[in-house]
Chain A
């Protein structure tokens, strides 16, 4: 009995934390189905105005275009980042040498460079190349990150070197060993890296805002940010837009939560 009683504060604390964590999202989902007036009246039950809000939203904003820009950016970034960083992480670990260790320490320094300090020259660079408003300019700075390289390097540590030796004796080239043996066995690391990269790229705001000067190319986070800049806010419509902007990343998170957790903590193990 005392044992159970002692655990009450713990459960209470967790309950409060869980409610506070979920409530803003519940509010967002419910408000997307209510009118602006309902939202201001703090109605917390689902309403019947979802379609109406949707029509107002697509009537005033080009949601389809913003969604597809976001999707293209996020998917292209993820695909390229996985290829470039996994090959590099593999290279650092499997072809380990003192020179490469030095190189890794230098690359890790890049983690400490705030984006603010590179933003203006990057903008100037892409302006000079006449690539402002291009998908290429949005994704290029996000492809190679020290974090992902480190993640793959740490994961490669547990990959048995004997297999690589055996494959070499069998006459397999280095690239085939990577593609045919390493890649399929490291699926969980790839999943973790993919989830993090996709979510970061989907939600990224500052760089796309800097480099996508023309609103025709805007992404979902830019679109919802611009709605709030208007004078009169239709809160039901705004919450629906926010819901649509959040949905892809939230769905990925809910499906692959464990991969996400392994990903953010994986590089430090």
Chain B
């Protein structure tokens, strides 16, 4: 065997364990889930449905499913843009070399990323309890007269989840922007300054266009994460009141592992989630890649 051939084979040997594991733990179950989504029945006794797409038909008539889709998209549409704008502003402020205590600000704003999703959900649940800190605080400021039942009402329950997500993920995205800002071509900023552009104009016309790839990446990651939201729905609001803050993954878990598991129907739901992730990523790539 020639040297190059042998090296090529050695290379394959190096990456085969990782590739096999991904095939077995990601691609194979993905295909299995599709086959499963065409079957019906309870527990282990599953047969192909008549018609084959029966479970998918059922999804469109399932009011709880449609509600969880709506909830998830409310989180997505409200939270992701606010978070990314906040992260951009914070990153731009922190990128200033003349800023004092940069390390301290950075650590403080980045810190929520270290906290597990279940942990922060339970802290938020305690803060927003009926007789919890937030109500005491707002009443102390005379902003409200009586305690708000944050987790017991649809609008406020959704709001608390959105606030939680903003708290947990803004610093995370900020770090991506900070890394990108530090690699920015400084001469372009200099040129803008010499041409007399103020800080806002420079930020909007010079910095943002150069950050476009990274903004696209963070948008795709955040969308992907929000569509799969589970821990917050389960621990913070428990999906309530009456399913109005429940996410798709939370409903999927209920269908799969509680009371009478229906794996076929649950698999169809999981494919709806898969499809949404794929379509949204595709749209964002199309929009984000547009060249001026």
A residues apposed to B, CB below 8 Å: 10, 13-14, 17-18, 20-22, 24-25, 27-28, 31, 39-42, 84-85, 87-88, 90-92, 94-97, 100, 103, 107, 110, 112-125, 140-141, 143-146, 149, 174, 178, 199, 202-203, 205-206, 209-210, 221, 224-225, 228, 235, 238-239, 242, 245-246, 249-250, 252-254, 257, 260-261, 264-265, 268-269
Contact = CB atoms under 8 A, between A and B. Distances in A.
B57 interface: no
B8 interface: yes
Q: Give 7 closest A-B pairs by Cβ, nearest first.
A: A95-B11, A91-B14, A203-B116, A253-B114, A88-B18, A144-B21, A121-B32
B172 A264 contact: yes
Contacts of A28: 119, 123
Q: Among B22, B32, B227, B281, find the residue whose CB has the most chain A CB atoms closer than 10 A.
A: B22
A46 B43 CA distance: 51
Contacts of A245: 116, 118-119
B126 A120 contact: no
Contacts of A103: 15, 19
B93 A14 contact: yes
Interface residues of B, number: 91
Contacts of B73: none
23 contacts: A13-B90, A17-B90, A22-B108, A24-B127, A27-B123, A42-B133, A91-B10, A91-B12, A91-B13, A110-B27, A114-B274, A116-B252, A116-B274, A117-B274, A121-B29, A146-B22, A203-B117, A209-B253, A210-B256, A225-B118, A235-B126, A257-B107, A265-B175
Contact of A122 (B15, B25, B90, B118): B25
A13 B88 CA distance: 13
Contacts of A235: 126, 129
Given A14-B93, A238-B126, A112 B277 contact: yes
Given A27-B133, A113-B274, A246 B17 contact: no
A120 B36 contact: yes
B256 A120 contact: yes
A25 B172 CA distance: 16
Contacts of B119: 28, 203, 221, 224, 242, 245-246
A84 to B, nearest CB: 5
B273 A116 contact: yes
Contact of B111 (A25, A42, A114): A25
A252 B17 CA distance: 28
A203 B257 CA distance: 21
A95 B7 contact: yes
Given A100-B12, A107-B19, A268-B217, A254 B114 contact: yes
Contacts of A24: 112, 120, 123-124, 127, 167
A228 B232 CA distance: 13
